[in-house]
Amino acid sequence: MITVPTTDENIKMDSRFRKFDVNEIRKDFPILGREVNGKPLVYFDNAATTQKPNVVIDSMVHYYKYENANIHRGLHFLSEVATEQYENARLKVKEFINAMSVSEVIFTSGTTDGVNLLANTMCRADMLNEGDEIIISHMEHHANIVPWQLLCDRKKTVLKVIPINDDGEIIMDEYKKLISPKTKLVSIVHTSNTLGTINPIKEVIDIAHDNNIPVLIDAAQAVAHQKIDVQELDCDFLVFSGHKLFGPTGIGVMYGKAELLNKLPPYQGGGDMIRTVTFEGTTYEDIPNKFEAGTPNIVGGIGLGVAIKYLNMFSFNDISEYENELLKYATEQMLDINGIRIIGTAERKASVISFTVDGIHPYDVGTIIDTDGIAIRTGHHCTQPIMKRYNVTATARASFAFYNTKDEIDVFIKALYKVLKIFG
């Protein structure tokens, strides 16, 4: 009989920090070696989704080949192995964001699901009354706007918006003015997916807490680029997606302080979140199980755990420093091109560049440079209020990860000049 190793045993990764070498890192990501339209792929759409290292892909294949079973309820060997792997992933998330307990880590389908979880449970818990207020910012992703609008429609609450300046930074004085005795939640993005702005999250949280207001942080664009410590931030809730973190799609995390999660009712009903069920009534499991109804995305959770283990081999200081180099290098070259306007020029910024080219639609920019194998995003990036703020209908967006290179940026810049020549 063949003895099959478990996922963690099968995926060999050095627990020590690896020396930051982008050429070696690129070897970990098989898709970066392919060609598109006969040209080497230049993948600059990392704000939409990141690519996956071999160890993540292998872990998911390994699970389906050797460990596939439902979790938590089975007593047989495969179920116990799968349960252990899935719950080990929860532990890795807990350590990654420095939560106090694994019970504060809820697996979701992604950032959007996490925001909706909180909005729906707050609504059902009668934590909001008519006229109460929720504060967001002008730079939010639609996922951190629409759930609150739906809640406001149901509870007749009021959504207030922190304005931003021309550089794409929230105006802190205006934020302070929005806070009132009726403010029940501040829900704000950590790092803008469109502008690249890194918000002063700690200051936002401290101001809210001075007024006894809980805070939700959308960290979807932050977790892959800088270290997030929920205890240091003292945020009350935090959400992010696995696929922005070099993990699989369909898996995400909602962190919440235990005392707050315990006050919220279940989000969905079904298996795994119950303790007892009768036709007369049902009792529920403790957190996090209370919020995880049904068979979860088991392989997604395992893949996310492996992605975190992979990322932990590197220093976030090295990652941030390198990505800042890429941002500076690309920004300087783009500003030398006549007709390019960069949308989002905050002093603290992640490796995201949204831009327009005079007289050329962003879709045309994206289509033409795709012929050279370059993948960027075009459109409103699920941030239509930002587009309106800057009086544009869409932008092109290049977003970098730690596996991108300056050579790739050179190819991108050359392609932009090609675009100008075609339309010139």
Residue 274 pLDDT greater than 90, yes or no: no
Task: Flag the least confident range among 3-12, 166-175, 201-210, 280-289.
Answer: 3-12
pLDDT of residue 74: 78
Contact 105, 296 (CB under 8 A): no
Residue 103 pLDDT greater than 80, yes or no: yes
How many structural domains does the chain have? 2
Say if 209 falls within a structural domain: yes
Q: What does the pLDDT average to over 369-397? A: 97
Predicted TM-score (pTM) of the model is 0.95
| Distance (Å, whole) CA 252 – CA 238 | 11
On whether both 238 and 341 belong to a single domain, the answer is no
On whether both 288 and 336 belong to a single domain, the answer is no
Contact 194, 138 (CB under 8 A): no
Q: What does the pLDDT average to over 337-352? A: 97
Backbone dihedral angles phi then psi of residue 282, each to the nearest 5 degrees: -135, 145
Could you tell me which residue, 359 or 274, shows the higher pLDDT?
359
Say if 13 falls within a structural domain: no
pLDDT of residue 1: 43
Which residue of the set 123, 152, 235, 382 is catalytic? 382
Domain range enclosing 194: 77-311
Torsion on CA atoms 51, 54, 55, 57, rounded to nearest 10 = 70
Please report, for the chain, how many H helices and E strands are present, in that order.
Answer: 15, 17
pLDDT of residue 7: 56
Q: Is 382 marked active-site?
A: yes
| Distance (Å, whole) CA 64 – CA 78 | 11
Strand stretches in 66-104, DSSP E = none
Express each pLDDT in 280-293 by its tens digit.
999 888 999 999 99
Number of neighbours of residue 295 by Cβ within 10 angstroms: 13
Confidence of residue 336 (pLDDT cuts 50, 70, 90): very high
Q: What does the pLDDT average to over 43-71? A: 97
Task: Out of 311, 346, 365, pick the residue that ends a domain.
Answer: 311
Say if 52 falls within a structural domain: no
pLDDT of residue 268: 92
On whether both 416 and 389 belong to a single domain, the answer is yes
Say if 47 falls within a structural domain: no
Contact 292, 106 (CB under 8 A): yes
Return mean pLDDT, the chain.
95
On whether both 249 and 178 belong to a single domain, the answer is yes
Alpha helices in 31-72 (DSSP H): 54-62
Residue 384 pLDDT greater than 60, yes or no: yes
Residue 12 pLDDT greater than 70, yes or no: no
pLDDT of residue 271: 85
Contact 249, 220 (CB under 8 A): no
Confidence of residue 334 (pLDDT cuts 50, 70, 90): very high
| Distance (Å, whole) CA 377 – CA 49 | 11
Burial (0-12, 13-18, 19+ Cβ within 10 Å), 275: exposed
| Distance (Å, whole) CA 252 – CA 248 | 9
Express each pLDDT in 181-233 by its tens digit.
999 999 999 999 999 999 999 999 999 999 999 999 999 999 999 999 999 99
Residue 2 pLDDT greater than 70, yes or no: no
pLDDT of residue 272: 86
Express each pLDDT in 304-326 by its tens digit.
999 999 999 999 999 999 999 99
Task: Out of 270, 288, 311, pick the residue that ends a domain.
Answer: 311
Q: What does the pLDDT average to over 26-49? A: 98
On whether both 255 and 124 belong to a single domain, the answer is yes
Contact 239, 114 (CB under 8 A): yes
In the chain, the percentage of residues whose pLDDT exceeds 70 is 96
On whether both 146 and 259 belong to a single domain, the answer is yes
Task: Out of 262, 293, 311, pick the residue that ends a domain.
Answer: 311
Express each pLDDT in 224-259 by its tens digit.
999 999 999 999 999 999 999 999 999 999 999 999
Residue 100 pLDDT greater than 70, yes or no: yes
| Distance (Å, whole) CA 194 – CA 344 | 8
| Distance (Å, whole) CA 111 – CA 220 | 7
Q: What does the pLDDT average to over 81-106? A: 97
CATH of the domain at 101: 3.40.640.10
On whether both 273 and 237 belong to a single domain, the answer is yes
